Amino acid sequence: MPRTTPALSTLLPPLICGTATFNDQYNPDPYALPTTSIVHEALSLGVRAFDTSPYYGPAEDLLGAALDTCFVHQNFPRRDYFLLTKVGRISGEEFDYSESWVRHSVQRSLERLHTSYLDVVYCHDVEFVSPEEVLTAVEELRRIRDETGRVKYVGISGYPVTTLCELSEMILRETGEPLDIVMSYANFTLQNTRLASVALPRLEAAGVDVVPNASVLGMGLLRRKGVPIGARGDFHPSPQGLRAAIQAVSDWSSAQDIADNRIEKVAIRWALEKWMREGVAVGSKGDPASGIPWIREKIESYGGTKLGVSVMGVSNVEELEETMRVWRSILDGLEDGEKTALDAGRSVDDRTWSLQRQQQVTGLAEGIRKALGEWIDYAWLSPAPGFVNKRSAPAIPAPLPTPAASPDQVPKPALINGIPELRPRVPI
């Protein structure tokens, strides 16, 4: 079958706001986060795509509540932003890729997100199930796409890049249709660039249209204060040796006589900027969120036909605003970036600063990567040895716990048979 038209790469914005942080893996109480403020500010700053998953605890509910507000309805038509979610992963040790669960999960996401369609649906963490199960889920998502239009584009996500490549090749071989999108996480960072060196040629050859790079901090590994500890405790799969090496290079970076020298500052800018360029072949040309107000931008005017796509998660408005400052500075440093800066109300000095900062970050990154030595391109095992899928039979999930209300006063939806009742059901 031919690829869905128009190609996703002609539409998808190259900067996606991730919502894995709206979850107790990364934060002790996701309901205490200002999630509505984050989403509204992201839209106001030009972000036009949001990535989420049923596996991310209350993330779909929180994102949906933020979008189902007068502010969004009056200022941002649904056609102007993209919603990307996932199916298949239920919990840390439960996966269900059956046709019936895929249908149930899609329906539930439509209701939670207050939408009549989903722009992208991934099969979530495909390395935990068999290739046959992945093929079943992909074919069911495509059936929903073709028969109902409730799903627009279909892809897979996961950690091991070789598995993502093998499955992309298998799906093309078995169905004659390439995947629209394959998302990798923690595989194009200061520490690990296997997404570019190992996966990119194979994914291109398999016809994959878009490859977003997620988790540029390696699930929080590349932070001065170490991996995040949420309500679930220390979930990070990295070994102690790698953590110690990251701490050592973090201390080295902080000691350099350069502004903004913390490892997370260096890691974010380095990965966003490098993937924006190196991921062009599997990038996209949607709205780049350059800061030009109220204009549907075309990337051809700002440095190339496509930009490599990145997913960035934040836990507060300040982190979001800092991410946008970095992103726009990177755009200012592209070819013809001076025009971008001027059209967005910035100045020629902003482009000059961007190029200077690019040199600083490159120098720090080279020092960090050299010091990491044997840990460069190390990838932890996923799944861990001995993993067993504990899912035995499909079942309606239990309702989520409801801790203290969010500062944004997000209402908790009523539950019917364990499913939030947000919209009238639309058969899929």
SS3 71: helix
Known active-site residue 302: no
Residues 6+ apart with CB under 8 A from 139: 175
How far apart are alpha carbons 208 and 204 in whole angstroms?
6
Residue of 109, 112, 49, 107 whose CA lies nearest to 85: 109
Q: Output the DSSP codes for 394-419.
A: --PPPPPP--SPPTT-PPPPPEETTE
CB-based burial of residue 377 (10 Å sphere; 0-12 exposed, 13-18 middle, 19+ buried)?
middle
In degrees, rounded to 5, the angle at the alpha carbon of residue 213 between the alpha carbons of residues 152 and 276 is 105
Contact 210, 12 (CB under 8 A): yes
**Sign of the alpha-carbon dihedral angle for 301, 303, 308, 312:** negative
Tell me the two tokens of residue 87. Answer: 């199916």
Tell me the two tokens of residue 9. Answer: 């790469």
Helices (H) and strands (E) in the chain, counts: 13, 12
How far apart are alpha carbons 23 and 276 in whole angstroms?
27
Tell me the two tokens of residue 123. Answer: 């099969």
Residues 6+ apart with CB under 8 A from 302: 288, 290, 331, 334, 336, 337, 339, 340
Which amino acid is it at 348?
A: V
- Residue recorded with tokens 């709205």: 287
55, 56, 81, 153: which is the annotated catalytic residue? 56
Spell out the long-range contacts of 199-204 with Cβ–Cβ below 8 A and sequence spacing 24 or more.
Answer: 199/161, 199/162, 199/164, 199/165, 200/278, 200/279, 200/281, 200/282, 202/165, 202/168, 202/169, 203/164, 203/165, 203/168, 203/282, 204/281, 204/282
SS3 378: coil
SS3 149: coil
* Catalytic (active-site) positions: 56
